[in-house]
Amino acid sequence: MIRTPLRPLAQILHARAHGENPDSIQRENARLRNEAARDRARSRAEFRLLLLGVCFAMAFATIGARMGMLSSSVPAEPQSAASGAEVVAGRAEIVDRNGRLLATNMTTNALYAHPKIMVDPGRVASELAKIFPELDAADLARRFTDGRSFVWIRRVLSPEQLQQVHDIGDPGLLFGPREMRLYPNGRLAAHVLGGSGFGAEGVASAELIGTAGVEKALNARLSDPAQASTPLTLSLDLTIQATMAEVLGAGMAMMNAKGAAGIVMDVDTGEVLAMVSLPDFDPNDRPNPLVKGDAADSPLFNRSVQGVYELGSTFKIFATAQAMELGLVNADTLVDANAPMRWGKHLIKEFKDKNYGPLLSVRDVIVKSSNVGTAHIALMIGPERQKAFLKSLGFFEPTKVELVEAPGARPLIPPKWPEIVTITTSYGHGMSASLLHLAAAYGAIANGGVMLTPTLLKHDGPVTGTRVMRQEVAAASLSMLRGVVTEGTASLGDVPGYEVAGKTGTADKPKRTGGYYNDKVINTFASVFPASDPKYVVMVMLDEPVETSGSEPRRTAGWTSVPVAAEVIRRIAPILGLRPTVEPIPLDGLTAVSN
């Protein structure tokens, strides 16, 4: 570009020739130049503003168009996405330790009606009453015709019933899909599983919630959608559970008992392999709780966890174990066992007013089940230490097992602890605990002195517990328990090859009005096997049993619970894969023959 000079020589000369001021030419030219520059700058700024405006307009138009498309389009699942392992079931299944199904879900239908679009309400009502006997035709007809527009008829339908309702063919009858909880094993493990029902209900779906047992205690885990595809694995073994239930049922009938309970627990992990309470119920059709009377008479009552009973002589081993732990006695120490023993206004007697005294070794106190001997040992220990030891064995707290009923089953502890309570507690009277408490405490003796928390969930790997007694004390206690079976009150409990060790307990049932019944007892047999290397504890309890094969009725645990427990062990030990051991011949075999 040729730059126009501010003072063009031709014009200057011309101006000078005419006597004009040449500076005005320069100013004029400078003004023109400035104006041109200003015009250029303005047009550039205008262009930039326009560009920016267009950009903004495009951005807003894009966002606006996208929002409009999103709001006007129909929501659809991404069609081409690969289907993962999404869950059909809304609630996790429950399986036993070997993966056998205990609880699962089934899809079924609920039946409801829209009476406003019903063609012939009267006929529908009578047809429905034919299909479902529990429905009343007149009542249904009234509900169909009183002007309401929605009626629930049934919560679940079987496929056959569904077809029958279809065959009625009325447009006012409608079906809503439902998930139903199914317990394929029926009554087996009913008390552990509990049961389930519907929570919030709608036409399209209903929420399944647990109503008792594991189903309720672990409801949050079972209904968690993130874990719905992983089944909940219980520690129960279905085969052991079935065997226990069968033997216990037969034993209950044979011993004329009102109820029975049994527990099998692994002593090294605290896992409960079987937990039976009889009479039982079908969790698929859970009965209603009793509205009056004793809750313990309902089949819903779990005798092994909810029932707290005075557990009788099974407690004696805790007194002797503690005395040995404290170094007060050893297995051969002689203690005073001269019966009857007078303590204040109380008289402590032996079974059938026998006298095992005047002196008895600690081992024989257990083997012969001497109340007086145990009382003297307990007095050596004293109330405070006895309380502390029983507390460490878990007898002062409800069990922590994964059942919704467990926290409610609080052991009954005497409010004060004078010496007479020390004496009665030492042989299992005056304080009440559940069978599961006893199983856990015997587990501690069996596994070498470590108290474990009983659990219904399978767990892998080692578990930790708190040590409550020395290993030697546990071993000495175990050998005393073995003595109870080989030469003491539980002689019917011997199972060849499986070295059963255990302790019987016979406790009179307390009356509601105070005092004790003469002819109603709770018989317990707390056993451990095999004694040389304990693996399992087996608890058997019979409620009000009486054995009538002899000339007079017998109500001691040695005649009722012990044979039942022996049969349980005989049956389950091979299933648990325990090889029978050849026991050493006792050293005093010769003298026994010579007698």
Partner 1 sequence: MMRPAFAILAFLAVIATGFWAYRENYQTQDALRDLRDLQSEIAALRESLSVQRAEWAYLNRPDRLRELADLNFDRLGLMPMDSSQFGHIADVSYPALAPLTPNLTDAVSVSGTEEGGDL
Shortest distance (Å) from residue 232 CB to partner 1: 15
Contact 118, 170 (CB under 8 A): yes
Q: Which is nearer to partner 1, 292 or 579 (CB)?
A: 579
Q: Which residues of 20-32 are buried (b: 16+ CB within 10 A; e: fewer)?
A: eeeeebbeebeee
Measured from the CB atom, the residue of 1 and 85 that comes closer to partner 1 is 85
Query: By C-beta, is 225 or 496 nearer to partner 1?
Result: 496
Q: C-beta of 537: minimal distance to partner 1 in Å?
A: 19
**Minimum distance of partner 1 from residue 79's CB (angstroms):** 5
Residue 199, number of CB atoms within 10 A of its CB: 13
Nearer to partner 1 among residue 144 and residue 536 (C-beta): 536
Tokens of 586: 């006792």
Kindly tell me the burial class for residue 482, based on how many C-beta atoms sit within 10 Å of its own C-beta (0-12, 13-18, 19 or more).
buried
Q: How far apart are CA 572 and CA 273, in angstroms?
A: 11
Whole-angstrom distance, CA of residue 426 vs CA of residue 202: 57
Q: Which is nearer to partner 1, 307 or 493 (CB)?
A: 493
Kindly tell me which of 318 and 498 has the beta carbon lying closer to partner 1.
498
Q: Which residues lie below 8 Å from residue 270, measured CB to CB, with a gap of 6+? A: 440, 443, 452, 453, 454, 455, 463, 465
Q: Which amino acid is at 497?
A: G
**HEC string for 149-197:** CCEEEEEEECHHHHHHHHHHCCCCEEEEEEEEEECCCCCCCHHHHCEEE
Tell me how far, at minimum, the Cβ of 576 lies from partner 1, in Å.
10
Q: Which residues bind partner 1 (CB under 8 A)?
A: 79-80, 83, 88-89, 100-101, 104-107, 182, 184-188, 238-239, 242-243, 246, 495-498, 570-571, 573-575, 579-580
d(CA 208, CA 94): 14
Active site includes 313?
Answer: yes
Among residues 156 and 546, whose Cβ is nearest to partner 1?
156
| Distance of alpha carbon 504 from alpha carbon 533, whole angstroms | 21
Q: How far is the CB of 71 from partner 1 (least distance, A)?
A: 24
Please return the burial class of 12, using the count of CB atoms within 10 Å of its CB with bins 0-12, 13-18 and 19+: middle
Q: Write down the catalytic residue from 223, 304, 313, 370.
A: 313
Residue entry with tokens 């002062």: 396
> Cα–Cα distance between 420 and 415 in angstroms, integer?
13
Distance CA(58)–CA(70), nearest Å, equals 18
The least distance separating partner 1 from the CB of residue 101, rounded to whole angstroms, comes to: 4
Residues near 160 by Cβ (< 8 Å), separated by ≥ 6? Answer: none
Report the nearest approach of partner 1 to the CB of residue 105 (Å).
Answer: 7
DSSP letter for 436, please: H
Give the nearest distance from C-beta 251 to partner 1 in angstroms.
15
Nearest Cα to 391, choosing from 322, 340, 339? 322
CB 521 within 8 A of CB 237: no
Decide whether 410 or 535 has the Cβ nearer to partner 1.
535
Residues involved in catalysis: 313
